[in-house]
Amino acid sequence: MNKVLFTKQGKVAYISNGLGIKGWVRYGALNRFHNLANKPYLALGFLIHNLRNKCLTSSKITFEKYQFKLRKNSTSYYSRPKGLKFSKKLEASFLNKSLDYSTDEQQMVKGTWWVKTYNNGKFVCWLKLADIELIDGISSINESENSFDDIIQKIVSDKKNKIPQFVNVARLSPEKNQKVLIEAFAKLKTTGVEAKLYILGSGILKEELETKIIELNLSDSVQLLGHIENIRNFLPLMDYFIFPSLYEGQGMALLEAMSVGLLPIVSDIPTSREIVAGGNYGIISESNDEQGLALAMMKALKKEEFSSFNLESYNKNVINRIKLIL
């Protein structure tokens, strides 16, 4: 928060976050957030719910880390705390009450505390605090140094088993079209294809996308990895780069993926069409909906031959075009 002003509409504050998003919001909304230094996108997400959608928001947020088990009578499994947007009750059968679970975030909604629940680093649901049983009291947990290594090992194993690996790199935002991408991937899976999808990036749609993954029963095949370091070391482990954006500026993530040899699957927008040379370097979805993206992914899996992309040559062509314009 940088500035506070008194206006005819009341007290307002100017806020900004690490994603480059900024603007004026009602000052009273800021009182709902606690300890958000490491998760600024959460504040923005709740502000949007509160001011634009006029729906219930969390009254308190904490970020304690501990391990727990489910109580035998646990029944409240939700995609988000009950009452919040995108909250849906989940089937109880997918949780094993003999396993250990962990949390790194808790929210209070209408006086009830909810616990964000993970199993082996994967988000599975939100539980009522009353439905969990701490392991040896409150046992703090550290960030697992091996958690990302485990993901890499799983990817390497999947590749050995010829399981196709799709990746998307973009902030989690409506124009990046990841919700439709997840729906398209679910449609792909219904054809019997065994594949994995990794989405890299952070943003205001994180909770909505997590909910969509659970709703479509994709927890074992779609993962939101957030922001990762050394992305150029991660990309070569993938097979296909899927870029379903509704609009783009330069499409730098697409260029970077193509430069390390990934086959691009892109939405039909001017920037992406130009980068893949009208389909010479990759596949252009016939429509930017789930059906079009699913068909584009199926086409990619047929192993058709495409021209090799050369980033240096691409850059030279761009520079020459700029010189002509100047």
C-alpha to C-alpha distance for 292 and 317, rounded to whole angstroms:
30
C-alpha to C-alpha distance for 229 and 213, rounded to whole angstroms:
24
Residue 313 has what pLDDT? 75
Q: What are the pLDDT digits (tens) for 149-199?
A: 788 889 999 999 999 999 999 999 899 999 999 999 999 999 999 999 999
* Residue 321: Cβ within 10 Å count: 10
Coil, strand or helix: which one is 89? strand
pLDDT category of residue 60 using cuts at 50, 70 and 90: confident
Residue 321 has what pLDDT? 67
Contact residues for 262 (Cβ-Cβ < 8 A; gap 6+): 167, 235, 236, 238, 239, 240, 241
Residue among 24, 69, 81 at smallest CA distance from 47? 24
Residue 304, both tokens: 């058709």
Classify residue 261 by its DSSP letter: T
Place of tokens 């088990």: 69
C-alpha to C-alpha distance for 20 and 133, rounded to whole angstroms:
39
Classify residue 20 by its DSSP letter: S
Structural domains in the chain plus CATH codes: 3-57 (no CATH), 62-134 (2.30.30.170), 147-317 (3.40.50.2000)
C-alpha to C-alpha distance for 11 and 45, rounded to whole angstroms:
20
Q: What are the pLDDT digits (tens) for 2-57?
A: 566 665 556 666 666 555 555 666 666 554 444 444 444 555 555 554 555 555 66
Phi/psi for 159 (5° steps) reads -65, -40
Residue 143 has pLDDT above 50, yes or no: no
Q: Which pTM value belongs to this model?
A: 0.67
